[in-house]
C-alpha cells in the first residue's frame, strides 16, 4: 500500500521567476531523506530543481516534461539536515528555499569514512546474514547512509540497482543458505520505500541487470540431467519483462560442457557452474557472466547466445599470461582493462583484485597489477573509475576502499555489524 507523504509542507508564492507558482516541498513520512518538490506554472514550461545540503546548490534533478504541473524527487540527502533548493523554470531561477530532512527508518547501521576523493554514490545491500538482516541502501560520497530499506522477505539480497527510469530502487531476493530456492523475486520500490511491483521467479541467484526498456535479466539455476543419470545444477539467464513475464533466454549448456569446462569445487560435485556475477555490455549487446565453480568469466552474445570468449578455468578460450583467479565474484571490464575480484587466489589470509590487459579479439589477457586486501571469501566487488582510481569492496571484511593508480588508499569506508553486497556506483541516484 502506498504511503502518503505529509510532513514538512512548504507552500510559498514565487518571488523570483515569473513562471513559477505555488512551490511545495514535502518530506516523505516513510523515508525521511526523500523530498517531493512540486510546482505549477501558468503556461507550459519545463523545469528542474537545483539543491544541496549545507546551503549548497550543487546538485540538480532531472528536467520535467513540458506542462503546467511539475513534480521531482530530491533523493540522496543526508538525514536530519537543512537542504537548500531552488526551482528553475525555462532557465530562470526562482527563490532559494530550505527544507529539513528527517531520520531514516529502521535499524540504521554505523558507517565510518576516512580520507577524501570519493565522488560517487553507492547503491549496495548492507547485510547481517546470520541475523537475517538485508537492507538495500544508498551511501553518499561522504560515507553517509542516505536511503535505507529493510527487506521483508526470507531470502538473501546481494544486488541493488537504481531503476533506470528514475522511479526508485530495484533489487532481487534470492538464495537460501547459499542454494537456489523457490520464492525468489525481483522487487521494485519507489523512493519512499513502497513496493511498485514484485515478480516471483523461482531459483534466481546472486545477480541481475536492468535493460533500457525496464526488462530485468537475471542469473538463475537450471537443473538438468548430465547424461549419466545424475542431476546437475547449471545456470541460465531469465528475462523478466516489466509485466512480470519470465522467459528463459540462455543456459550454460548452450556454450559449455561439464567435461571441457569442469566444476572445480570438489565439495559440491552436483553444482556445476555456480554463476554468481553478471554485467551488461551495451556496446556489444552482450552479457558478461562469472562462474564461480569453473573459475571463469564468459561473454555471451544477447542475440545469438554464442560465447565470444571465456577467461579463466581449464576450458577458457583466452590465453592468460600471469596469475589466475580462483572462486571469483565481481569484475569490471573497461577499455582494454579487465579487473576480477579474486576470493581465494591470494591464499588463506587475503583476497585480492587482479587486473589484466585484455584483448578479446586476440583472446589474450596479461596480468599487469594486483591489489591485496583482507580476507573476503564470499561476495567481493571491484570498479575502475574514469580517473584511474579503483574501488574495492572487501564484502565480509566490512570494508570499502578507493585506491589511486598507485594502489594507495585515498578513501575508506568501514561498516559496524554489516557486510557489503555488490555495489553500483553512480554520480547521482536522482539524475541518471
pLDDT confidence band for 139 (50 / 70 / 90):
very high
pLDDT confidence of residue 9: 37
- Per-residue pLDDT, averaged over 388-404, amounts to 97
Domain assignment present for 73? yes
Based on the fold, state whether residues 94 and 120 are members of the same structural domain: no
What cell was used for 92? 530562470
**Exposed/middle/buried for 344, CB within 10 Å: 0-12, 13-18, 19+?**
middle
Q: Is pLDDT above 90 for 137?
A: yes
Q: What is the CA angle 170-176-178, rounded to 5?
A: 95
Confidence of residue 225 (pLDDT cuts 50, 70, 90): confident
Query: Looking at the domain assignment, is residue 105 inside a domain?
Result: no
**Domain holding 88: CATH number?**
2.60.40
pLDDT tens, residue by residue, 141-158: 999 999 999 999 999 999
Is the pLDDT at 293 greater than 70, yes or no?
Answer: yes
Q: What is the pLDDT of residues 9-67, one digit of tens each?
A: 333 333 444 467 799 999 999 999 999 999 999 999 999 999 999 889 999 999 999 99
pTM for this entry: 0.93
**Confidence category of residue 214, pLDDT binned at 50, 70, 90:** very high
pLDDT at 132 over 50: yes
- pLDDT tens digits along 314-338: 999 999 999 999 999 999 999 999 9
Buried b or exposed e, range 118-127, using 16+ CB within 10 angstroms: bebbbbbbbb
Mean pLDDT for 270-284 is 96
Same domain, 371 and 340: yes
- Over residues 124-151, mean pLDDT: 97
CATH code of 393's domain: 2.120.10.80
- In this structure, the answer to whether residues 117 and 67 fall within a common structural domain is no
Q: How far is CA 98 from CA 72, 194, 253, 326, 395, in A?
A: 16, 26, 58, 52, 37
Asked which of 80, 100, 120 is the last residue of a domain, the reply is 100
Mean pLDDT of the region 407-429: 97
pLDDT of residue 21: 79
If one compares 5 and 230, the residue with the highest pLDDT of the two is 230
E strand map for 140-240: 145-148, 160-162, 168-173, 185-190, 195-200, 204-210, 216-225, 231-240
Q: Are residues 84 and 204 in the same domain?
A: no
Question: What is the pLDDT, as a whole number, of residue 406?
Answer: 92
Q: Name residue 171's beta-bridge partners.
A: 160, 187
Verify that 91 and 140 share a domain, yes or no: no
The verdict on 81 and 33 lying in the same domain is yes
**301 and 171, same domain (yes or no):** yes
Predicted confidence (pLDDT) at residue 180 exceeds the cutoff of 70? yes
Q: How far apart are CA 384 and CA 233, in angstroms?
A: 32
Average pLDDT over the chain reads 93
> 344 pLDDT band (50/70/90 cuts)?
confident
Structural domain count of the chain: 2
The verdict on 203 and 336 lying in the same domain is yes
Question: Which residues constitute the domain of residue 408?
Answer: 110-426
SS3 (DSSP) at 253? helix
- At residue 19, the pLDDT reads 63
Reply yes or no on whether the pLDDT at 381 is more than 60: yes
pLDDT of residue 97: 96
Inside any domain, residue 432: no
Amino acid at each position: 500500500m502506498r504511503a502518503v507523504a505529509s510532513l514538512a509542507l512548504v507552500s510559498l508564492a514565487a518571488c523570483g521567476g515569473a513562471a513559477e507558482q505555488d512551490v511545495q516541498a514535502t518530506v516523505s513520512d516513510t523515508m525521511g531523506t526523500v523530498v517531493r518538490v512540486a510546482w505549477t506554472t501558468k503556461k507550459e514550461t519545463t523545469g528542474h530543481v537545483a539543491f544541496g545540503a549545507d546551503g549548497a546548490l550543487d546538485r540538480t534533478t532531472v528536467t520535467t516534461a513540458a506542462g503546467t504541473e511539475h513534480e521531482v524527487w530530491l533523493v540522496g540527502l543526508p538525514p536530519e539536515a537543512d537542504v537548500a533548493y531552488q526551482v528553475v523554470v525555462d532557465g530562470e531561477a526562482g527563490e532559494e528555499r530550505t527544507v529539513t530532512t528527517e531520520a531514516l527508518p529502521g535499524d540504521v547501521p554505523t558507517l565510518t569514512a576516512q580520507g577524501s576523493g570519493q565522488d560517487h554514490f553507492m547503491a549496495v545491500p548492507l547485510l547481517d546474514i546470520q541475523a537475517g538482516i538485508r537492507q538495500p541502501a544508498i551511501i553518499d560520497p561522504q560515507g553517509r547512509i542516505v536511503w535505507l530499506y529493510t527487506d521483508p522477505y526470507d531470502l538473501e539480497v546481494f544486488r541493488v540497482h537504481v531503476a533506470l527510469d528514475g522511479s526508485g530502487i530495484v533489487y532481487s531476493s534470492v538464495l537460501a543458505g547459499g542454494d537456489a530456492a523457490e520464492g525468489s523475486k525481483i522487487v521494485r520500490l519507489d523512493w519512499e520505500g513502497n513496493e511498485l511491483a514484485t515478480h516471483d521467479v523461482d531459483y534466481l541467484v546472486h545477480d541481475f541487470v536492468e535493460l533500457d526498456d525496464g526488462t530485468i535479466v537475471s542469473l538463475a539455476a537450471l537443473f538438468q540431467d548430465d547424461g549419466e543419470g545424475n542431476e546437475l545444477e547449471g545456470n541460465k539467464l531469465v528475462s523478466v519483462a516489466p509485466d512480470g513475464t519470465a522467459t528463459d533466454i540462455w543456459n550454460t549448456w548452450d556454450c559449455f560442457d561439464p567435461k571441457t569446462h569442469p566444476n572445480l569445487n570438489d565439495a559440491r560435485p552436483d553444482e556445476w557452474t555456480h554463476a554468481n556475477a553478471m554485467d551488461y555490455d551495451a556496446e556489444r549487446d552482450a552479457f558478461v557472466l562469472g562462474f564461480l565453480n569453473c573459475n571463469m568469466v564468459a561473454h555471451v552474445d544477447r542475440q545469438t547466445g554464442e560465447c565470444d570468449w571465456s577467461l579463466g578455468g581449464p576450458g577458457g578460450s583466452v590465453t592468460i599470461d600471469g596469475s589466475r583467479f580462483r572462486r571469483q565474484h565481481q569484475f569490471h571490464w573497461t577499455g582494454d582493462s579487465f579487473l576480477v575480484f579474486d576470493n581465494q587466489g591470494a591464499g588463506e589470509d587475503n583476497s585480492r583484485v587482479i587486473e589484466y590487459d585484455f584483448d578479446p579479439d586476440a583472446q589474450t589477457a596479461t596480468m599487469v597489477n594486483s591489489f591485496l586486501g583482507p580476507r573476503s571469501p564470499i561476495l567481493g566487488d571491484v570498479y575502475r573509475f574514469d580517473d584511474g582510481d579503483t574501488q574495492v569492496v572487501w564484502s565480509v571484511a566490512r570494508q570499502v576502499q578507493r585506491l589511486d593508480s598507485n594502489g594507495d588508499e585515498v578513501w575508506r569506508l568501514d561498516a559496524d555489524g554489516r557486510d557489503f553486497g555488490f555495489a553500483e556506483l553512480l554520480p547521482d541516484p536522482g539524475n541518471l
